[in-house]
Structure 1
Amino acid sequence: MSRTLVTSALLYANGPLHFGHIAGAYLPADIYTRALRMAGEDVLAVSGSDDHGVAITIAAEKAGEDYASYVAGWNARMRETFAALDIRYDIVSGTSTSPPHADLSREFFERLDANGYLKERTTDQLYCATDEMFLADRYVQGTCYVCGHTPARGDECPSCGTWIDPLKLKEPSCKICGTAPETRSTTHWYLDLPKLRDEKIGAWIKGHEWKSNVAGFIENLLEDVPERAITRDMKWGVSLPASVGERGEGKVLYVWFDAPIGYISFTKELMVERGTPDAWKDWWQSEDTSLVHFIGKDNIPFHCLVFPSMLYGAKDGYVLPAHVPANEFYNLKGGKFSTSEGNAFDIPNFVEQYGADVTRFYLCSSMPETADSEFSMELFIQTANTALAGTIGNLAQRVLKFIDKNAEGKIPAIHDDHRAEMDACILNECGAIEDPVEHIRAFRFRRAAEAIVQNAAVGNRFIDQMAPWALRKEDPVKGESSLATLCEWLSWTARWMAPIMPTKAQELWSMLGQQGQVLDQPAPGLPRAETWRTLRAGTPLGEIVAMFPRLELPETE
């Protein structure tokens, strides 16, 4: 049986989620998962937090917290944000808390080593004699040797973007105590990406079908592939396997190495919770699995080159990614979202004010699929009032309020004499109809959002053309048939909406008097004249409410 394994990039547990994260990796994964499940497919969705790394240890020390408590706090905030936006996964875990993670990460190390894909090398590194520790990249700062910017971190210059060699920094200093470090030798292990490229992954990348913006990014990725260190001199992280002996003391696996293994660890954790501990293999070691990574473009090298190299190099039957629908950057006010710089919204508060589904729809409709895009509060309000309230909400109100007042609050019957006329009008004469789920399956999320509104506009044109308020006096039987047709259209609209706006879709489904969860209904596809009508005449409507209240721009100070 075929299955789809959906992952979202693990959030670095060093700050809150912002809309850039949500539009980039988390909302599209949720929408995609819901759509595939409505299509009857077997889907597993996995995400969580990346809990290790230098940036976390520095921030925790600055905050006066122990590392575990610090990442646990941000993991909890992540879950709160997911709940506010109704973003759901089968499991949300963390690389420092998932029970299988450390052992599995060490197993990957040992397998790669045994298969000849790791190189052990002794190199020089900056060492702080005062704090008695080697200085991993972000523990050192100095003057950039390329552009002269001060301070430049030990991994990257914030001014010119150069990837920094800490040993070349001018006037380096320890970020903890401020003293000048000395140079000492240390041993580390490196992943032999050139060998993995030449043996398998290079040909796989070239022969794979990628999303257009991903293909453009990785065109030059294979030309200059370096060996990458996979260990660090630190205390916080996954310790090295006992098999390396004393050489591994005081060292941990580099965060970029153990983080993607978290996808597998979390799957194993979930299957243990479900009482089927070996079932994780069905998702990770079966040719029937389609692995889909939702990420931002800054993670493309890791998910298109590094992690596939690890999966292949382990030689344990792991599947390679089928799709990596990376999004570009989602910006605010012409710059990147940044919670540290105050260039972001508090998402739970934003959702409390404007609603989860309105927020989800706008983010979907403005998603940075193949180019950077930008959040605009003005366009958010316009979208809520025009596309949602003015098109979808207006259709529901016009139809259901009229039936409630003039048709005993029950779904009217379609009369055989009018069936062909009604079908021809709404299916062929009131505008183009598209299947949002098909767009979602092809990672065209913006087009899926547009299609929902476009399809609702078909219903509004139909009601204007049929004018049931006039037919009520001139030809009441035909009027009933037009209203029955509109109720059917609303039931399709609810199902089309469900992956993107699950709560509002359920609201509309219930207003039509339908039982159960709309997300449990099959994906509707496109309506066909012979089969598209499914509602039972005489079904009482539910409580009719305004789906999308009009919004106002917030006052600016």
Structure 2
Amino acid sequence: MSRRTLIISPAPTANGDLHLGHLAGPFLAADVHARYLRATGREALLATGFQDTSTYVVTTARRLGVTPKALVARSAAQIETTLAAAGIDVDGFTGDEDQFVKQVLRFMEQLHAAGRFELRTVRLPYSPATGQYLVDGFVRGGCPRCLADGCAGLCESCGHLLAAGDLIDPRSTADPNDPVELRDARVLVLPLERYRERIREHFDRYGAAMRPHMAQTIDELLSRPLPDYPVTYPISWGIPAPFPEVAGQVINPNAEPAAWSIYCGTLAARGRGIPLAGDDELWRAGADTKVVYFLGFDNTYPFAVAAVAMLLAADGRYLLPEEFVTNEFYELDNAKFSTSRGHLVWGRDLVTEVPRDLVRYHLAATSPETQRTDFSRAALTRVTTTRLVDPWNQVVDRAQRVPQGAPLPVSAFSRSVADRIVERFAACYELEYFSLTRAAETLTEQLQRLAGRDVRPGEEGDFCHEVDVVLRCAAPILIDLAAALPEPGIPAAGTGPTSVLPRALPRLTGPVG
């Protein structure tokens, strides 16, 4: 029996609703993989949530003229609603509840008590005018490695850790004209270099699903000494650090992923009605769990390096994530989605205007798997109409001409064809070569083949059988159309029926506008 798979997509920051860039990235991919595993008889849990401790909550709230807490409350409801509207079937949705905070603190206190954290003096940008240290979303500048401009913490371009004190020409995001100086601060860090060889050994063993950009970055990161990773920051927004040597500081939000992921697993298991002996049971070493992350490339460092190091620092208590499937940025009209500039399409708005299956298909067909891809409303209309709606409705028209009411024979040849269809889709859905783009292409190829097929007398059963198999294989993407199936599931090879009962198929409605 296969292991239970825990699928995690990193929590978006609770500073707004989800736009298409979010959905086209990790969320749709994670949902499709979870649905595929279940359709093939395997147990899968899907977890995500929202993060309220990020400094971007504060910067967005300041820009909008609202309090951070009010922004979090509004954004949390929007994120959960949008995921449901897009058909992202989440088993565990984390938030800012007390139990999550307790999990983070319990995890951190265990490592602190074991002497895994060390007190270090670091140089941080400081605003004399406000009396505040500037980290992460509070400060931006050039990355000393790739020179790209961005906020501190993590470089979205090269994926490396971007210490605030190393920024080129640092400037406050609240006021770029505010003079900034570097000052010393004492913070707790996790010395990542202690774990570099063990992290390398882990990725040598696993990581088959890594895409080229992440694989390159992991090789770069592990080919040289790893810098100390900040566990606490001298700022006021976040989970208060319970350590006396850094009184008044908070937990670095980018140091939360390991603890957050453990909490995710607990919520997802409970959401599926799975009894647990302890809050970290799914993550315990020896547990029959396979952990898989679907994440944006920019989350590589905190989840694949820092979080793995923290799990290793727990002295064998926890298992390690085995696979990481990343994506690049999804753009709108050839520019990055931007909430601050109003350059975006809200996911919830689109699925109320366009049938949900069409949105999911288009995001799959244009998924930013290995390079940036682009969304436009005109492309959505053109792609979904020509590649999905028209060929599917032609298949429906052919199916309507098949006599109804009595079983029809299915030939051995058609059963072998069905096995090949399943095999083609499986190659897209299994982790090693996971690709939503190829799954969408495979669906279009099969629909066009069936739409153009000349169904001769005596072959009606074969036609209906193959249509059924294609729809079953497309079900992880086309969740509403698949509701027409009498029962869910993708057939295993060699299990095809010898007869099939013809049935009416629903038509697809094309996009408007």
- State the TM-score bracket (shorter-chain normalisation): 0.7 to 0.9
In 1, Cα distance between the equivalents of 2:109 and 2:120? Answer: 16
* 2:188 aligned residue: 189
Q: Tell me, yes or no, if structure 1 residue 87 matches structure 2 residue 97.
A: no
Evaluate the alpha carbon distance shift between residue 355 and residue 152 of structure 1 in structure 2; reply closer, same or farther with a 3 A threshold: closer
Q: Tell me, yes or no, if structure 1 residue 49 matches structure 2 residue 50.
A: yes
Report if the CA contact (8 A) 2:187-2:232 is conserved: yes
Q: Which of 500, 522, 531 matches 2:489?
A: 522
* 1:289 aligned residue: 289
* 1:482 aligned residue: 459
Q: Tell me, yes or no, if structure 1 residue 501 matches structure 2 residue 478.
A: yes
TM-fit CA distance, 1:458: 3.6
Evaluate the alpha carbon distance shift between residue 24 and residue 461 of structure 1 in structure 2; reply closer, same or farther with a 3 A threshold: same
Secondary structure, aligned partner of 2:459: helix
In 1, Cα distance between the equivalents of 2:92 and 2:13? Answer: 17
* 1:453 aligned residue: 444
TM-fit CA distance, 1:220: 0.7
Secondary structure, aligned partner of 2:327: coil
Report if the CA contact (8 A) 1:357-1:504 is conserved: yes
Unaligned stretches of 5+ in structure 1?
A: 467-478
In 2, Cα distance between the equivalents of 1:60 and 1:302? Answer: 24
In 1, Cα distance between the equivalents of 2:511 and 2:308? Answer: 46
Evaluate the alpha carbon distance shift between residue 237 and residue 204 of structure 1 in structure 2; reply closer, same or farther with a 3 A threshold: same
TM-fit CA distance, 1:100: 2.4
Evaluate the alpha carbon distance shift between residue 222 and residue 33 of structure 1 in structure 2; reply closer, same or farther with a 3 A threshold: same
In 2, Cα distance between the equivalents of 1:156 and 1:495? Answer: 41
* Aligned ranges 1:304-383 → 2 under 5 Å: 304-383=304-383
TM-fit CA distance, 1:218: 1.4
Report if the CA contact (8 A) 1:117-1:196 is conserved: no
In 2, Cα distance between the equivalents of 1:265 and 1:438? Answer: 31
* 1:549 aligned residue: 509
* 2:392 aligned residue: 392
Report if the CA contact (8 A) 2:188-2:246 is conserved: no
Report if the CA contact (8 A) 2:407-2:499 is conserved: no
* 1:209 aligned residue: 207
Q: Which of 484, 489, 500 matches 1:535?
A: 500
In 1, Cα distance between the equivalents of 2:115 and 2:489? Answer: 48
* Aligned ranges 1:10-409 → 2 under 5 Å: 10-94=11-95, 96-97=96-97, 99-128=98-127, 131-139=130-138, 163=162, 165-166=164-165, 175=174, 180=179, 185-198=184-197, 200-210=198-208, 211-213=210-212, 214-224=214-224, 225-241=226-242, 244-245=243-244, 247-269=245-267, 276-278=275-277, 280-285=279-284, 286-400=286-400, 402-403=401-402, 407=403
Q: Deviations over 1:464-512 (max 9, x none)?
A: 151xxxxxxxxxxxx3x433333222322321121111101113x2xxx
* Amino acid in the other structure paired with 2:398: R
In 2, Cα distance between the equivalents of 1:311 and 1:159? Answer: 26
Evaluate the alpha carbon distance shift between residue 271 and residue 392 of structure 1 in structure 2; reply closer, same or farther with a 3 A threshold: closer
Report if the CA contact (8 A) 1:3-1:42 is conserved: yes
Report if the CA contact (8 A) 2:86-2:356 is conserved: yes
In 2, Cα distance between the equivalents of 1:115 and 1:364? Answer: 45
TM-fit CA distance, 1:43: 1.1
Report if the CA contact (8 A) 2:408-2:501 is conserved: no
Report if the CA contact (8 A) 1:174-1:181 is conserved: no
TM-score normalised per structure 2? 0.86
Secondary structure, aligned partner of 1:382: helix
In 1, Cα distance between the equivalents of 2:362 and 2:123? Answer: 50
Secondary structure, aligned partner of 1:191: strand
* Amino acid in the other structure paired with 1:15: G
In 2, Cα distance between the equivalents of 1:16 and 1:140? Answer: 23
In 1, Cα distance between the equivalents of 2:136 and 2:350? Answer: 36
Secondary structure, aligned partner of 1:188: strand
Report if the CA contact (8 A) 2:137-2:173 is conserved: no
TM-score normalised per structure 1? 0.80
TM-fit CA distance, 1:248: 2.9
In 1, Cα distance between the equivalents of 2:167 and 2:367? Answer: 40
Matched positions, count: 501
TM-fit CA distance, 1:292: 0.3
Evaluate the alpha carbon distance shift between residue 535 and residue 112 of structure 1 in structure 2; reply closer, same or farther with a 3 A threshold: same
TM-fit CA distance, 1:25: 0.4
Secondary structure, aligned partner of 2:50: strand
Secondary structure, aligned partner of 1:228: strand
Secondary structure, aligned partner of 1:321: coil
In 1, Cα distance between the equivalents of 2:268 and 2:407? Answer: 48
Evaluate the alpha carbon distance shift between residue 536 and residue 154 of structure 1 in structure 2; reply closer, same or farther with a 3 A threshold: closer
Secondary structure, aligned partner of 1:500: coil
Unaligned stretches of 5+ in structure 2?
A: none
Secondary structure, aligned partner of 2:202: helix
Secondary structure, aligned partner of 2:312: helix
* Amino acid in the other structure paired with 2:323: H
Report if the CA contact (8 A) 1:283-1:289 is conserved: yes
Evaluate the alpha carbon distance shift between residue 117 and residue 453 of structure 1 in structure 2; reply closer, same or farther with a 3 A threshold: same
Q: Deviations over 1:16-49 (max 9, x none)?
A: 2222221210000000000001111111111011
Evaluate the alpha carbon distance shift between residue 373 and residue 159 of structure 1 in structure 2; reply closer, same or farther with a 3 A threshold: closer
Secondary structure, aligned partner of 1:450: helix
TM-fit CA distance, 1:326: 0.8
TM-fit CA distance, 1:180: 4.5
Report if the CA contact (8 A) 1:17-1:78 is conserved: yes
Secondary structure, aligned partner of 2:250: strand
Query: Taking every aligned residue pair, what percent have the same amino acid on both sides?
Result: 24
* 2:428 aligned residue: 439
Secondary structure, aligned partner of 1:31: helix
Secondary structure, aligned partner of 2:351: helix
TM-fit CA distance, 1:155: 6.1
Report if the CA contact (8 A) 2:389-2:510 is conserved: yes
Evaluate the alpha carbon distance shift between residue 169 and residue 359 of structure 1 in structure 2; reply closer, same or farther with a 3 A threshold: closer
Report if the CA contact (8 A) 1:331-1:372 is conserved: yes
Secondary structure, aligned partner of 1:324: strand
